[in-house]
Copies of this chain bind each other. A is one copy, B any other.
């Protein structure tokens, strides 16, 4: 078995014998940065068809092509878990998206709360972070990063069959309360507030939702990025694919 450590996300369908064209950026990375040439082995995934071994068929400065040889892993979907979070400073927002992709979120939804400073996000840049995290971490699935939406509107249009786990010091119950809630295939979302916390109106609204549940993340106040990772960890262990 030849070893192929470089993993690339591509949009193209993947199947034995397929030829996959490379974008200019991918060609620059593979041939310029990583010094690969014709015949080099690369692992490909597109978020739908699993992971495939491919070899470089054509290497050029501005493009190239790969030939798909055989499947090396099936598609592994994460559980049906969404991560809703209020964007914070750039580096910490990037971090939350990277960690959500690593920890197995199916969808990443930036939401604007009353105390959120950001009024816009660079969706394409955040999506690229999710792709890079999947490339690095052996994932075969890439969570979609949604457009920024107001939390009010998101909650107004919410499908109540998807439960919400939210993390708020003021309303928190013990984290063990999560055990045994909902079947393993039940859709869930984790909601993380902004650095300033939720407003009183948001808190009251969340507390009144029968499909929402608050958990504690311990006696110390966590930053939003830490809270996102900790909440996903607790969820994956209690209800997700870490069991």
A243 touches B174 (CB 8 A): yes
Q: Is A199 an interface residue (CB 8 A)?
A: no
Copies of this subunit: 2
Q: Which residues of B contact A233 (CB under 8 A)?
A: 217, 229-230, 233-234
A103 smallest CB distance to B (angstroms): 7
A242 touches B223 (CB 8 A): no
Query: Can you list 27 A-B pairs, Cβ within 8 angstroms, ordered by A?
Result: A76-B219, A78-B220, A99-B226, A99-B229, A102-B220, A102-B226, A103-B218, A103-B220, A103-B226, A104-B218, A104-B219, A104-B220, A136-B223, A137-B221, A139-B220, A174-B243, A175-B237, A175-B242, A176-B237, A217-B233, A217-B242, A218-B236, A218-B242, A219-B241, A226-B229, A229-B229, A229-B233
- Chain A interface secondary structure, helix, strand, loop or mixed? loop
**Which A residues contact B (CB, under 8 angstroms)?**
76, 78, 95, 99, 102-104, 136-139, 174-176, 216-223, 226, 229-230, 233-234, 236-237, 240-243
- By beta carbon, the residue of chain B nearest A136 is B223
Q: Which residues of B contact A223 (CB under 8 A)?
A: 102, 136-137
Q: Which residues of B contact A139 (CB under 8 A)?
A: 220
CA distance A223 to B136 in the complex (A): 8
Given A174-B243, A226-B229, CB of A220 within 8 Å of CB of B136? no
A208 smallest CB distance to B (angstroms): 26
Q: Which of A230, A236, A241 has the most CB of B within 10 A?
A: A230
- By beta carbon, the residue of chain B nearest A217 is B242
Q: Which of B102, B176, B230 contacts A243 (CB 8 A)?
A: B176
CA distance A28 to B220 in the complex (A): 28
Q: Which residues of B contact A95 (CB under 8 A)?
A: 95
CA distance A227 to B220 in the complex (A): 20
Given A230-B233, A234-B237, A242-B217, CB of A222 within 8 Å of CB of B175? no
